[in-house]
Chain A
Amino acid sequence: MLALVNPFTDAFPGAPENLANLLWVIVALPLAGAFLCGVLGKFMGRANTNFLACFTVFASFILSCLTLWAVGAQSTQFISPASGVPVRWALWLDLGRWFSAGDFSAHYGFLVDRLTAAMLMVITGIGFLIHLYSTEYMEHDDGYWRYFAYLNLFVAMMLTLVMADNLVLLFVGWEGVGLCSYLLIGFWYRDTEKAWAGRKAFITNRIGDFGFLIGMFLLVLLVGATEQMGRETALGRSNFSDIGRARAWVTAVHDQGPLNLEVLREWALRMPAETAKDRPGMTLGTTITTEGPLKGKTFGQVLTAALLLLLLGAAGKSAQIPLYVWLPDAMAGPTPVSALIHAATMVTAGVYLFCRLSFLLVLSPTAMAWVAMIGALTAIWAALIAFAQDDIKKVLAYSTVSQLGFMFMGVGVGVFWAAALHLVTHACFKACLFLGAGSVMHGNADETDIRRLGGLRKEMPWTWATFAIATLAITGIVPLSGFFSKDAILHGAHTTEVAGYPWVGHTVYWMGLFGALCTAFYMTRLYVLTFEGKRAPDARVPHAHESGFRMVFVLVFLAFLSVVGVVWGIPELVPGPGGRKVALMEGYLAPAMNLADRLASIYDTVTHTESSPWLGFAIAWAVALVGGATAWLVFRSWLPARAGKPLPNYIALFWSWARAKFYVDELYDLLIIRPFTVLSKGLYKIVDAGLIDGVAVGGTAGVLRRVGGWLRYTQTGNAQNYATVMAVGLLISIGVVLTWVLR
């Protein structure tokens, strides 16, 4: 316990693994900040609240930097509780049992490997910048203390999510960010529409969380069945031939709980590994024989089902088809919140989840194909909708949905490092774009319609410059960060074959390429309409003003990050596993992803063909240039030249459909919400209001109240009457007793 409190005892900072004792502080700081801001914020005053909120996140950021350094150090390792062998380049802190229910238990523990470390940098780093930006953005709002409490809580929850060493704790963070997003999207809750947007986000997320929960239950059952069969069947016992390791695993299943990540890793490793040596044993194709709901299914089927359910959960959080509808409405909250949701927290949770569970995902090609296809479809779908949106934040929101689709594509074809890299770079430039949009709104009296902006290039030079850089980054222009991260995904898709689904890689590649084209188009459109040309005649204010120092500083810093992020993605830069030359990010994440790669090669689920990426990069670059140039031409010269003339029919039709978001909200309304409303209204009228309220409750209550009313007349207030009642009661009891005895 002392080590927890005082980590600076002996070798620190000499020994990086000592940092494990400090992991809890990373979460605790913003949590404490949230508590203090929420409880005392009103009394502390604005400046103190601002300072406290920023400070806690910044301190977390410093600790995250130290953690990053620690997981990069050669000596860092911990002993895996599930196998007894050391795990390198990772830190683990177990704070003890959180709860246990029957055989199930969950610990409160933090695990930081290189994937988590990268996420920590994004969450605390960009989170801090957004906090800093918010201090200026929210300077006129009276609910500042509430705002910063939520914001800090948001960061704390996201940190819990990425640092959790088991899925149960991860789910706490998962639900926590859902809650915080609800609170922040509906921050201006007095505005009905904004409150509704918050509710929409919450409910859509609940659908996904439902999937997540069931997926978790299936995993619990799966691990339990494995353990039981390992003990009870001859087939299973051969899986557990390495007695020491098997014992460690069984102990960990009971002690740490079946959803501990190390337990799941060991499970994934144990399942197929034995068959590879051509010995009989449980494989994914083995039928489960233990009693329970899983009986008769194979391990592989259950795993696929669990992963697909987790995909539903991830689709909810990361705004993929079919649950993406909440994200565009989520911009109802304050703009920095949108930036936080879109860049640093929340939406990346789904991508993170699959990177974290990559070792499970590669065991199920079906699930991978689903993930990839969902991602590709979402990428195009959202991009098409973004074509016709006129609200600056909505365009950015759909672009987030689209970019998340790219990340899912990467996850689905097994290039997890590329997905993670795109997550990081996207966080930088999307934060920059959103905060730039916020700056635009700040300087233009909260105008969000890009048709009524324009010509801001001169008036807001800093915002313009940073926005331009971020736009180039997202469109994928060399040498900005978005280029290599996106094209690493595309290249991965092109060269990858998912077992049983040979068409997926190529389909995804072409769809991705098309998505990139669309991205370049709509982002250039957004940029052109906002910053180029002349100021719109119906603008709210004649002249925009540039934002203050704190906002500009953040923008510049993020733009800078969008540029230098490219270092991580340049291919063939450093030597990687297997003697290949790999990108910096791939090499960095290799320790975290090696199990997935190993399993993929053992099981042959994912095959990467080695080929030079440079040709693909050239194509992608050309595509981006074409998209951008087309948009520039259309909106800079073609449209202004045709001013007053109607558009060609096919364009107008597409435009109106895209503007209406392809009527998906209406479709959901018609197919799901409307029938449910009718059904529940009917049920309410007939069953609840009629039968239960009217007959059962009303009738019973009426009768009871009347009886009570009559009984009240016995209470006359006359002591003699009371004594009479007592005497009669006594008489009856004695009479009954005596007649009974003397009978």
Chain B
Amino acid sequence: MTTFLFYFFAILTVVAAAGVIAARSPMYSAMSLVGTFFCLAAIYALLLAHTIAVLQVLVYAGAIMVLFLFVIMLLSLGEAVGPAKVTFPRVVGGIASAVLFAFLVVAARPFVPVGAQPPPSFGTLQSIGAQLYTQWLAPFEAVSLRVLVARVGAVVVAKSRV
């Protein structure tokens, strides 16, 4: 059952992600992205990482997507801009990506879900917090620096002057 659900959501994730770049209308793209996020959250849940799954839905599918949609609507890019042109680079890129994907599938073939049994505390907020502040302290602090940089960068790029 878990295996079936995993493949189901996994395929759905890939399809939705492909929809993000294939859709001509920004709105469809954004909606496909929401779909991707939801499917990812489902996969997290299947991995018993419930906290991450919830955060995924709350933060990405909730907050960030709403922001995306606001921006799209504010810029009134509602209409599709005509059918996608099939250019040589796109064809080559598409084929290359597909073959690459096939290769990776071949490479990852020996790995099948084994249904490991993690400890009951796995994925709880408490254990995540404990992990973050002990073992993963360095990356955690680095993330805070990264967020600060991203904010400053966003201000710089968005400001009107200059």
Contacts and interface: CB of A to CB of B under 8 A. Distances in A.
Instruction: Answer yes or no: A and B touching, Cβ < 8 Å.
Output: yes
Nearest to A720: B89
Nearest to A730: B100
Interface in A711-743: 718, 720-721, 723-724, 727-728, 730-731, 734-735, 738, 742
Contacts of B104: 734
A177 to B, nearest CB: 62
Counting chain B CB atoms within 10 Å of each CB, the highest count among A723, A724, A734 belongs to A724
B89 A721 contact: yes
Interface in B63-120: 87, 89-90, 92-93, 96-97, 99-100, 103-104, 106-107
Contact of B103 (A720, A723, A724, A735): A735
A731 B106 CA distance: 13
B92 A728 contact: yes
Contact of B89 (A718, A731, A734): A718
Counting chain B CB atoms within 10 Å of each CB, the highest count among A718, A721, A742 belongs to A721
B100 A731 contact: yes
A320 B107 CA distance: 85
Interface residues of B, number: 13
Contacts of B106: 738, 742
Contact of B90 (A724, A730, A734, A735): A724
Nearest to B98: A731
Contacts of B103: 731, 734-735, 738
A730 B97 CA distance: 9
Contacts of A728: 92-93, 96
A484 B69 CA distance: 112
A731 B103 CA distance: 9
Nearest to A718: B89
B116 to A, nearest CB: 27
A724 B93 contact: yes
Given A738-B106, A738-B107, A720 B100 contact: no
A724 B92 CA distance: 7
A735 B98 CA distance: 12
A295 B96 CA distance: 71
A724 B87 CA distance: 11
A742 to B, nearest CB: 8
Contacts of B99: 731, 735
Contacts of A718: 89
Contacts of A721: 89
B107 A727 contact: no
B94 to A, nearest CB: 9
A721 B96 CA distance: 12
A222 to B, nearest CB: 67
A138 to B, nearest CB: 59
A262 to B, nearest CB: 66
Nearest to A722: B89
Nearest to A721: B89
Contacts of B100: 727, 730-731, 734
A720 B93 CA distance: 9
A174 B99 CA distance: 74
Contacts of B90: 720, 724
Nearest to B93: A724
A721 B87 CA distance: 10
A742 B107 CA distance: 9
Contact of B93 (A727, A734, A738): A727
B75 to A, nearest CB: 20
Nearest to B101: A731
Contacts of A742: 106
Counting chain B CB atoms within 10 Å of each CB, the highest count among A727, A730, A734, A742 belongs to A727
B89 A724 contact: yes
Contact of B96 (A720, A731, A738): A731
Interface string A249-282: 0000000000000000000000000000000000
A721 to B, nearest CB: 4
A723 B107 CA distance: 23
Nearest to B90: A720
A730 B89 CA distance: 15
A731 B96 CA distance: 6
Nearest to B87: A720
Contacts of B87: 720
Nearest to A741: B107
A731 B89 CA distance: 15
B95 to A, nearest CB: 9
A738 B92 CA distance: 21
Nearest to A732: B96
B102 to A, nearest CB: 10
A47 B72 CA distance: 80
A399 B137 CA distance: 91
B65 to A, nearest CB: 24
A731 B100 CA distance: 5
Nearest to B107: A738
A730 B92 CA distance: 13
A384 B56 CA distance: 108
A490 to B, nearest CB: 91
A720 B84 CA distance: 13
Contacts of A735: 99, 103
A735 B102 CA distance: 10
A735 B87 CA distance: 24
A734 B102 CA distance: 11
Nearest to A723: B93
A653 B90 CA distance: 95
A734 B105 CA distance: 12
A728 B100 CA distance: 9
B127 to A, nearest CB: 36
Contacts of B89: 718, 720-721, 724
A728 B97 CA distance: 8
Nearest to A735: B103
A718 B87 CA distance: 12
A462 B27 CA distance: 108
Contacts of A731: 96-97, 99-100, 103
A738 B102 CA distance: 11
Nearest to B97: A727
A735 to B, nearest CB: 6
Nearest to A716: B89
Contacts of B97: 727, 731
A728 B89 CA distance: 10
Counting chain B CB atoms within 10 Å of each CB, the highest count among A718, A728, A731 belongs to A731
B96 A724 contact: yes
A723 to B, nearest CB: 6
A69 to B, nearest CB: 75
Interface in A682-723: 718, 720-721, 723
6 contacts: A723-B93, A724-B92, A730-B100, A731-B96, A734-B103, A738-B107
Given A727-B96, A727-B100, A731-B97, 10 more contacts: A718-B89, A721-B89, A724-B89, A724-B90, A728-B92, A728-B93, A728-B96, A731-B99, A731-B103, A742-B106
5 smallest beta-carbon distances between A and B, as pairs: A724-B93, A724-B89, A721-B89, A727-B96, A731-B96
